[in-house]
């Protein structure tokens, strides 16, 4: 099942504010979306013109599925909450599923921002909505995305291969999953670990 989830309220983390997009974000988005090597990893072509960014923003604001990751007032990336992959994995057909995607400006890679944002969205989805299964996928050669997903508790469910329009060749996708039970278990283990450490 694919529950209705709308990106409406901001989420605050230690360093970031995640919030719905605004049309005034176009320049910030264009700044990272036009850089080679960012979009291609997430299956889209870099924006060659700010008009492409504006069209993307308009659609994104209407759809209410994507958080802007903001750091010190600047948009540095996105976390998107997409239609689930339960068709591909029928064992989850009776669960409330969504699929996650993340993009961060190349200037801010390796600082833990993607992990911080993704973890915050996962917490909100599992505690503030009906969602109880999350998927995320990446190209098998996208090591950064693999590390991000594993860091946030997602683990391998399967893989598929298909022709890809972005890379103009057959590519392999790794599909990861995190259930609400696993997420709760992980948090419980963390808490017990901290108590034991005292």
Ligand X SMILES: CC(C)(COP(=O)(O)OP(=O)(O)OC[C@H]1O[C@@H](n2cnc3c(N)ncnc32)[C@H](O)[C@@H]1OP(=O)(O)O)[C@@H](O)C(=O)NCCC(=O)NCCS
Q: Which stretch binds ligand X (CB under 6 A): 58-66, 103-111, 155-163, 186-194?
A: 103-111
**The residue to which tokens 């700010």 are assigned:** 50
Per CB under 6 A, does 145 bind ligand X? yes
Per CB under 6 A, does 174 bind ligand X? no
Q: CB of 78: closest distance to ligand X in angstroms?
A: 9
Cβ-in-10-Å burial (0-12, 13-18, 19+) of 171 comes to middle
Per CB under 6 A, the list member of 11, 102, 121, 122 interacting with ligand X is 102
Instruction: Extract long-range pairs of 154-157: CB within 8 Å, 24+ residues apart.
Output: 154/178, 155/182, 157/89
Per CB under 6 A, does 177 bind ligand X? no
Residues in the chain: 198
Cα–Cα distance, 173 to 34 (Å, whole number): 24
Per CB under 6 A, the list member of 4, 8, 23, 110 interacting with ligand X is 110
Does residue 41 contact residue 145 with C-beta atoms inside 8 Å?
yes
Per CB under 6 A, the list member of 35, 41, 88, 166 interacting with ligand X is 41
CA distances (Å), 194 to each of 125, 161, 169, 182, 198, in order?
24, 41, 47, 18, 6
Cα–Cα distance, 107 to 16 (Å, whole number): 15
Per CB under 6 A, does 7 bind ligand X? no
- Show the tokens assigned to 127: 């505690």
Per CB under 6 A, does 122 bind ligand X? no
| Residue nearest to ligand X according to CB distances in the complex | 112
Number of residues that bind ligand X (CB under 6 A): 21
Q: Which stretch binds ligand X (CB under 6 A): 5-13, 16-24, 48-56, 113-121?
A: 113-121
Q: Which stretch binds ligand X (CB under 6 A): 3-11, 38-46, 87-95, 125-133?
A: 38-46
Per CB under 6 A, does 95 bind ligand X? no
Site residues for ligand X per CB under 6 A: 38, 41-42, 101-104, 109-115, 138, 142, 144-145, 147-148, 151
């Amino acid at each position: 099942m694919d529950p209705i989830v709308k990106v409406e309220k901001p989420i605050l983390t230690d360093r970031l504010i995640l919030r719905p997009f605004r049309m005034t974000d176009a320049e910030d988005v264009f700044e990272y979306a036009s850089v080679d090597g960012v979009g291609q990893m997430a299956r889209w072509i870099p924006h060659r013109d700010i008009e492409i960014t504006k069209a993307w923003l308009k659609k994104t604001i209407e759809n209410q599925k994507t958080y802007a990751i903001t750091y010190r007032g600047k948009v540095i990336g996105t976390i998107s909450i997409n239609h689930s992959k339960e068709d591909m994995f029928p064992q989850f057909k009776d669960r409330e599923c969504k699929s996650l995607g993340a993009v961060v400006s190349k200037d801010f890679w390796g600082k833990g921002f993607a992990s911080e944002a993704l973890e915050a969205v996962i917490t909100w989805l599992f505690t503030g909505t009906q969602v109880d299964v999350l998927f995320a996928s990446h190209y098998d050669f996208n090591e950064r995305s693999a590390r991000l997903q594993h860091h946030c508790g997602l683990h391998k469910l399967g893989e598929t291969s298909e022709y890809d329009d972005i890379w103009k060749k057959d590519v392999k996708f790794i599909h990861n999953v995190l259930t609400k039970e696993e997420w709760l278990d992980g948090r419980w283990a963390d808490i017990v670990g901290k108590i034991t450490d005292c």
